[in-house]
Structure 1
Amino acid sequence: MTTDSPAGPPEAPGPPEDAERTRRRDPLDLAQTVLALHEAADSDETIERIAAYSRAAVGCDDAGVMLLLGRNQVDTAGATSDTVVRAHDLQIKLDEGPCLAALEHTETIYRVEDTTTDTQWPRWSAAVADLGYRSVLSVPLATKSRRYGSLNVYAFEPRAFDQDDMAVTMILARHASASLAANLDIEGLRKAVDARKLIGIAMGMIMERYGIDADRAFDVLRRLSQAENIKLRDVARQVVEDRGLSHD
């Protein structure tokens, strides 16, 4: 089942045609992507890969994973930028939004075509539009027996996600859910969130040291992770332990 936010007043022309959207997508081999999800060493790596692969496969600007930690506790465990974390935090603060809805309704895909005209989650959509996001797609991370969270992709342009994007995201979410089911328990969920908080501390140190914003600080950590071929969490731990970047 798919639900879209109610239509608003007439707007400016939408995003490019499908051919242009296709050029934005990374030509990942979906089978290889799915295999990589299942081969992740632990829950932290699984969640990092879910976010990164989703952004590449869909061709969106950002992606993130929101996890259900307990009956009334949710948090961000993986994100491709700090802006995603802020968008998720706004849902928790305002108690509304598609990512939370996908946590509750595991058979439904939620799509916001334009946050500036959305009326289904008006407070959250207005706040997220201020962050620059215009389109949002949220799909459940769940198995038949358990809810894990939601996979959420974001775009800076309105009406960015078509049926192909929805299909790709749903395929990734189903395999991600199976991977999470294989290696996650409640302690693993909390560990993933703790890793996210460690990354936040490292980002804060980099921001203060170099006078840059949160997204640029996150990019610094991500580039170091890729260059050194180590987990983002471990890069963050090194920054915190060394009180800065190793070459300072």
Structure 2
Amino acid sequence: MEFPQDDGMGAASESAADTFARLAIELHDAPGVEETIDAVVQFALQALNCSHAGVVLRGRGTPEVAAVTDPMVTEAYSLQIDSDAGPLISALERGTTVLVRDTGTDDRWPKWAAKVAALGVRSVLDVPLATGNGTRSTIGVLGLYSAEPDAFSEDDEAIAHILARHASVAVASARHEETMSQAVDARKLVGQAMGILMERFDVDGDRAFAILKRYSQDTNTKLRDVAQQLIDTRKLPH
């Protein structure tokens, strides 16, 4: 997918809108979160003045590196996640865009800046992925990296924000679909396990579910995992 260049007659604006429309469709058609994020970082390489890109998603504990265009981005992310400091962490926690014009002169995170500068990174643009207003709505960060100092213009930042909005909606939708799919799978497993108990012990559905639930609580095991083990082994966990 090529990003259009301005010809001075407004054609680029129309073509850019068409390009983002196609991106939205591509993201919507992606089968899962991983494929959605991969599409985002690949588009970023083509549409923006960056040499590397990546996406980090908010996890239950530490942030999770979801996609990178090369190992250098993984290292740049790891430096920040391990130290809990850097433009990525700031963008994720505050829900605001962070621009590092030159890692050689920026003094906000000197240790991180020195290390990524040694990796060949001079400019960084971190844009939050958000599903609403406020820091709690921030689900991740799109990171753009360049080997050139002061590489990101106002136009680049504006395009990055548009891409981030598309990505936010796509990721939230993909996560919701995966959660719903997992819930459906869990109900099927529990239903199958209940059927085994009902047949083996001649109990009704309520009693069979109570047995599964008790074993789940007693063994501190998820209900779907108890059901899966019963289906696989025809035995309840010890």
Q: Secondary structure at the residue paired with 2:143?
A: strand
What is the distance in 1 between the residues matched to 2:42 and 2:119?
Answer: 20
CA apart distance, 1:33: 1.8
Whole-Å separation in 2 of the counterparts to 1:93 and 1:114: 22
Distance of 1:94 and 1:126 partners within structure 2: 14
Where 2:152 maps in the other structure, the secondary structure is coil
**AA matched with 1:51:** V
Match of 1:74 in 2: 63
Name the aligned partner's letter for residue 124 of structure 2.
Answer: V
Rounded Cα–Cα distance in structure 1 between residues aligned with 2:138 and 2:28: 18
Long gaps (5+) in structure 2: 7-14, 180-238
Residue of structure 1 in register with 2:168 after alignment: 177
SS of 2:160's partner is helix
Equivalent residue, structure 1, for 2:146: 155
Per the TM alignment, residue 149 of structure 1 is displaced from its structure 2 partner at its CA by 0.9
Q: Deviations over 1:147-195 (max 9, x none)?
A: 211000000000000000000000000110001111215x87xxxxxxx
Q: 2:49, 2:152 within 8 Å by CA — same for their partners in 1? A: no
Return the offset for 1:54. Answer: 1.0
Task: Work out the CA distance in 2 between the residues paired with 1:75 and 1:105.
Answer: 17
Give distance in 1, aligned partners of 2:101 and 2:49.
16
The residue that corresponds to 2:73 in the other structure is 84
1:117 aligns with 2:95: no
- Distance in 2 between the 1:58 and 1:35 partners? 19
Is 1:59 the counterpart of 2:68? The answer is no
Equivalent pair of 1:148/1:177 in contact (CA under 8 Å): yes
Q: TM-score, normalised by structure 2?
A: 0.64
1:129 equivalenced with 2:130 (yes/no): no
Runs of 4+ in 1 over 6 A off after TM superposition: none
CA distance in structure 1 between the aligned counterparts of 2:173 and 2:20, rounded to whole angstroms: 20
The structure with the largest alpha-carbon Rg is: 2
- Contact conserved, 1:37 with 1:46, CA < 8 A, in 2? yes
* Structure with greater helix share of residues: 2
Could you say what secondary structure the match of 1:103 adopts?
helix
2: CA distance, partners of 1:36 / 1:99: 26
Are 1:105 and 2:94 counterparts? yes
CA separation in 1, counterparts of 2:68 and 2:27?
Answer: 16
Indicate the residue corresponding to 1:202 in structure 2: none
Q: 2: distance between equivalents of 1:160 and 1:63?
A: 14
Normalising by structure 1, we get a TM-score of 0.61
Contact 1:34 1:172 in 2 (8 A): no
Q: What pairs up with 1:30-69 in 2 under 5 angstroms?
A: 30-69=20-59
Higher relative contact order (CA 8 A, sep 6+): 1
- Stretches of structure 1 that go unaligned for 5 or more consecutive residues are 1-17, 20-26, 189-248
Identity of aligned residues (%): 42
C-alpha displacement of 1:94: 2.2
